[in-house]
Amino acid sequence: MRLSLEDLNRMDQTTFTVTLGWIFEHSPWVAERAWKNRPFSSLDALHQALQSVVEEATMAEKLNLLRAHPELAARVKMADASVREQAAAGLDQLTQNEYEDFTALNQAYSQRFGFPFIIAVRGKSKNEIQAALWKRLGAEPEAELENALQEIYKIARFRLEGVIGKKTDGIPGQTDEGPQWNKKSAPTDAIPQLRSDSMQTEPTQRKRVMFYGKGDVFVYRTYAKPLVGVKQIPESTFTKKENVIFGMNVKIALHGDKFLSSFTEGDNSLVIATDSMKNFIQRQAAHYEGSTIEGFLEFVCKRFLEKYPHVTSIDISADEVPFDPCIVPGEFGMQGSGLVYRHSRNEHATVSMEVTRGPQGYEISRHQSGISDLHLIKVSGSSFYGYIQDEYTTLKEAYDRPLFIYVNIGWRYGNVADASGADPSRYVPAEQIRDIARTVFHELNNRSIQHLIYHIGRRILQRFPQLAEVQFETNNRT
């Protein structure tokens, strides 16, 4: 039964809560708190009032709301609205392999973020939903929390539109029940879908987004453009990188719907051989005129998308293969060889990004720079005490201990354009991040690894305000 806004505005709080309590999955408290904002002048006003309740809720309440949603394609009891919505997307008709794929992805997502994957499924096929799940698995936790809430708001809007009557202001072909597609005679799969690229209608098609790629593509170039003009910081003597040997190990994956037939029918007509991927990447090293790994990966992706129009997006990453000059006798004593280099040190720069084809050519939809395998030991000036002591505790408190740690540090720019190094003064070299970590470790009488990495991260953000965030992965190897 459809209700009018007038009906809702006349309801007492209990009736209102019972009527709309299901709009937000198993969370009637949203409707209960929104009731006080009556009267609602429009559907938009009602939806905004409900959304504002969630936005003003505590973090615990938001997480409980997220966790109240069922996993997509799960074979468990769920709310009637969720059953209908998932069935409309074909999630109740999965093959066994599809079901196992969704189950594995759902588990990976829940383990990473602490709540189930949530998406407004209306108008989406099961393959589009799965592709979105893959993409959002790579999001940062804070951003993904907001993504999930935005999807909940969309779901709530769709549910409200199903029960609240609204005027259509005379829009041709539309009634209070929404656009009329001759629902009685047209089969579900023939309902037109409006495409923004062609502005024509065509049947909705269910399709799987496919990707494949190549790893261990070793790229070496001599005498690449030197990196000069970087910002100087007090913790580091790093001023430039000569790039006499510009080396890295690249991994790439190509995404595109057009690859599906190679899996289902063995049709290789659009397949780019992985050996060709390797040759393409290595050849681009000769044409790259920049001085950073980030800039090189962006350059490679741009060329790939220009060359192969059926590729829709590219995941690419690289680990630096660092070389230092050997020290040899020279005219002025021992000095760097300019000819002979050695594969050096444990730590190395890392870069990962996703580049997507867009209306204006391409865009970097995800990026992270970093330094990995930084191994540091401090022989004195570290402690660990004051922690919970119970029947499970065997570790003795230490007020001055040696501390040996492995550290990986990642950072993301507020403006992704700064990552390429086109403006060296905005670029953040991995060598300077390394030196900040060393300096803070030296200076700080740290009380735990958590205490240490907090102050390293804080110093990094102080020195480089163009960064949006810093991440750490650390292991105690003492």
Task: Give the span between the Cα atoms of 97 and 394, in whole angstroms.
Answer: 46
Residue 361: its H or E element: strand 361-384
Beta bridge partners of 334: 329
Amino acid occupying residue 224: A
Establish whether 225 is a catalytic residue: yes
d(CA 266, CA 214): 19
The number of residues in the chain equals 478
69 an active-site residue? yes
The active-site residue out of 19, 103, 239, 274 is 274
Of 17, 47, 62, 69, catalytic: 69
Q: Please tell me the distance from the alpha carbon of residue 167 to that of residue 42, in angstroms, as a whole number.
A: 9
Catalytic residue among 214, 278, 367, 378: 214
Q: What is the CA radius of gyration of the chain?
A: 28
- Which residue is it, tokens 């970087």? 230
Closest-CA residue to 382 (of 470, 473, 476) = 476
Cα–Cα distance for residue pair 434/372, rounded to 1 Å: 10
Identified catalytic residue from 225, 231, 240, 302: 225
Q: Is position 312 annotated as part of the catalytic site?
A: no
Instruction: For 274-297, give one letter per residue: b (16+ CB within 10 A) or e.
Output: eeebbebbbebbeebebbbbbbbb
- Degrees (nearest 5) of the Cα angle 386, 389, 391? 170
> Does the active-site annotation cover 274?
yes
- Give Cα separations from 118 to 114, 153, 268, 291 (angstroms): 12, 11, 35, 41
Residues 6+ apart with CB under 8 A from 178: 161
Distances (CA, A) of 236 to 431, 442, 452: 8, 13, 18
Looking at the annotation, which residues are catalytic?
Answer: 69, 214, 225, 274
